[in-house]
């Protein structure tokens, strides 16, 4: 794959990531509201709350590693 195609693929991936980031709830009340909208309620938010921060850090770390890895290849 050429560098031009890799850059285009990265741009599409970045746009998708921005859309997902915009849809991600940012506060505990937003998490509760989103879970209740899909039928889980506040009890589901309380059960998921301890996992939100570690998952966010893991996703950020994977994104950083992917960014560094793609910078080296092109």
pLDDT, one tens digit per residue, over 10-21 is: 555 667 777 777
Q: Report which DSSP code applies to 40.
A: -
Mean per-residue pLDDT for 8-36?
73
Please tell me the predicted confidence (pLDDT) of residue 12.
59
When comparing pLDDT for 34 and 11, which is higher?
34
Q: Report the mean per-residue pLDDT for the chain.
A: 75
Which residues neighbour 36 within 8 Å (Cβ) at sequence distance 6 or greater?
42
Q: Is 70:10 a contact under the CB 8 Å cutoff?
A: yes
């Amino acid at each position: 794959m050429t560098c031009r195609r890799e850059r285009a693929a990265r741009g599409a991936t970045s746009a998708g990531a921005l859309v997902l980031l915009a849809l991600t709830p940012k506060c505990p009340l937003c998490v509760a509201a989103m879970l209740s909208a899909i039928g889980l309620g506040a009890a589901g938010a309380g059960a998921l709350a301890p996992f939100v921060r570690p998952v966010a850090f893991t996703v950020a770390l994977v994104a950083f590693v992917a960014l560094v890895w793609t910078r080296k290849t092109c």
